Chains A and B, each alone.
Chain A
Amino acid sequence: MATNYKFKRLNAGREYIAGNYHTPLSLSDIAQYAHMSPYHFLRSFKDTYGETPNEFLVRLRVESAKKMLITENFSVSEVCEKVGYISLGSFSSLFLKQTGMAPTLYRRKLWALSAEAYRFPSQAIPACYAYHFLGK
């Protein structure tokens, strides 16, 4: 486990990712922000948080993209750019890997299922909760 001082530096790096995930980020930039070498930061981050900085970054970007695709009317290219990707191809393949669907299909499918515009359908949350809170 990280010492308190090391944990604070790791946390600073993590907060940096969380606050800047929509911009291009490199491991060396983040590690520098945490005052650690890239290798040391990567290894300690994974040991402490159970995922690598890049896995954390991708998770934040995909979650943000999912929300934007459903609750906003941006094009997929705009969403790609807004969550920090330059290449639409990279964004689409990462999105597909994380959700099992390409961004366009994800939006089309969830919009078709929802009874209200720009809202997630009840099927987007676990069925026991949907039944409990929404009666669906």
Chain B
Amino acid sequence: MITSIAHATIYVLNQEEALDFYQNKLGFEVGDDMKVEGGFRWLTVHPKSKPQLQLVLAEPKEGPMFSKDAAEKIRNLITEGAFGAGVFETENCHRTYEELVAKGVEFIQPPTKQLYGVEAMAIDNSGNWFSLVER
């Protein structure tokens, strides 16, 4: 039986800039920030109340899994907003929306009543869409 999800990947254009966004705008904390052999930076963040869920901030680069062309295509898709970072939950969507707007987070939809709760949609500083949901 699978009990939970421990890591999920968010592809970003620049790890340092993404870290600034997720840490200083969204208020996430750094889980791991490790220098790994081969020059790879293993960087994860998580919501303060969920250290068990690590979001891996990874740059698509030429390497074992991506050709130079594939990495470039993925970077372009991120910029175009083709990828979603997921759904983040909040206890008060309107309040969190106001706080994040004040910090300069770009929203593409203000808090809106949906069948499953109140939802706002925003974009991270790479171009990934994410939802902010109050259930």
Contacts and interface: CB of A to CB of B under 8 A. Distances in A.
Interface of A: 1, 4, 11, 14, 18, 48-51, 59, 63, 67, 70-71, 114-116, 118-122, 124-126, 129, 131-135
B63 interface: yes
B116 interface: no
* Most chain A CB within a 10 A radius of its CB, from B7, B33, B40, B61: B40
B58 interface: yes
A121 B34 contact: no
Contact of B42 (A11, A14, A120): A120
A114 B49 contact: no
Nearest to A126: B7
Given A51-B51, A126-B7, A1 B91 contact: yes
A41 to B, nearest CB: 15
B133 interface: no
B113 interface: no
Given A1-B91, A133-B65, A124 B34 contact: yes
Interface in B99-121: none
Nearest to B41: A133
A73 B58 CA distance: 28
A134 B95 contact: no
Contact of B35 (A11, A14, A119, A131): A119
Given A63-B32, A71-B35, A121-B37, A135 B64 contact: yes
A99 to B, nearest CB: 13
**By DSSP majority rule, is chain A's interface helix, strand, loop, or mixed?**
helix
Interface in B53-100: 56, 58, 61, 63-65, 91-92, 95
B14 to A, nearest CB: 16
Contacts of A134: 36-38, 40, 63-64
A120 B35 contact: yes
B51 A59 contact: yes
5 contacts: A50-B51, A120-B35, A122-B36, A126-B7, A133-B64
Given A120-B37, A120-B42, A49 B48 contact: yes
B15 to A, nearest CB: 12
A14 B95 CA distance: 21
A18 B61 CA distance: 32
Given A59-B51, A129-B56, A120 B63 contact: no
B121 to A, nearest CB: 23
Contacts of A131: 64-65
